[in-house]
Chain A
Amino acid sequence: DSGVTQTPKHLITATGQRVTLRCSPRSGDLSVYWYQQSLDQGLQFLIQYYNGEERAKGNILERFSAQQFPDLHSELNLSSLELGDSALYFCASSVATSAGFHYGYTFGSGTRLTVV
């Protein structure tokens, strides 16, 4: 167990639907990152939150949104789903120190989304 919890592990849904993926970061980690891994695009950074605030955006579609709550858990909302959204979605968390020292990222086991 890495300490980062992602739910659900598997999700099958139909095109046009909306789903929510949940991530609980490792205890003490303030930053949460979402990544999408698809066969053709590899591991793509979607969005980063730090202590409740959006810090950086990557290749995130407008149909996708995310937020980080006061208890630091994060949710990734995917709407108007298309077949091409089928992928493995990872959440990662990290500690950011004032000195900038990097303790690394801890990844969850991912949510496998299948859109049919």
Chain B
Amino acid sequence: AQKVTQAQTEISVVEKEDVTLDCVYETRDTTYYLFWYKQPPSGELVFLIRRNSFDEQNEISGRYSWNFQKSTSSFNFTITASQVVDSAVYFCALSGLPGGSQGNLIFGKGTKLSVKP
């Protein structure tokens, strides 16, 4: 069975601090996809990144970076120099191939990030 664990329920930091959100996943599939979504207080789900299981390169997008390590089944998300606008709930998610029976997203419980000025 597929499972995503986000052990950190809530994190509070002061603006400009770096923060890492942890994500550990379980799957028996050899082909799978990992995602991060942001849910601000307004409620919509904002897509941040998609990674497939064959691409272990780390990725950086502005202040955001992601560390994918297959050996530890982890896909961690780091925000550098956090800002108040980063305050949101962040979800890590896992899926198999789209259209197939494992094509749905399995979400972790989410990590609520509060960035204080």
Contact = CB atoms under 8 A, between A and B. Distances in A.
A76 interface: no
Contact of B43 (A35, A55, A105, A110): A110
Contact of B99 (A55, A104, A109): A55
Chain B interface SS verdict (over half)? loop
Interface string A7-43: 0000000000000000000000011010100000011
A29 to B, nearest CB: 9
Interface residues of B, number: 26
Contact of B105 (A30, A45, A88, A109): A45
Nearest to A55: B101
A48 B35 contact: no
Contacts, number: 77
A107 to B, nearest CB: 4
B44 A102 contact: no
B55 to A, nearest CB: 12
Kindly list the 7 A-B residue pairs having the minimum CB-CB distance in the complex, ordered from nearest: A96-B99, A43-B107, A96-B98, A107-B45, A45-B104, A100-B97, A94-B98
Contacts of B33: 102
Given A33-B104, A92-B105, A104 B35 contact: yes
Contacts of A42: 107-110
Contact of B102 (A56, A94, A104, A106): A56
Count chain A CB atoms within 10 A of each CB in B47, B98, B99, B109 and give the residue with the most: B98
Contacts of B44: 2, 107, 109-110
Interface of B: 31, 33, 35, 37, 43-45, 47, 50, 52, 91, 95, 97-110
Given A100-B31, A107-B44, A31 B98 contact: yes
Given A94-B103, A102-B33, A109 B43 contact: yes
A53 to B, nearest CB: 10
A95 interface: yes
Given A58-B104, A102-B33, A102-B50, A95 B43 contact: no
A34 to B, nearest CB: 9
Contacts of B43: 88, 109-110, 112
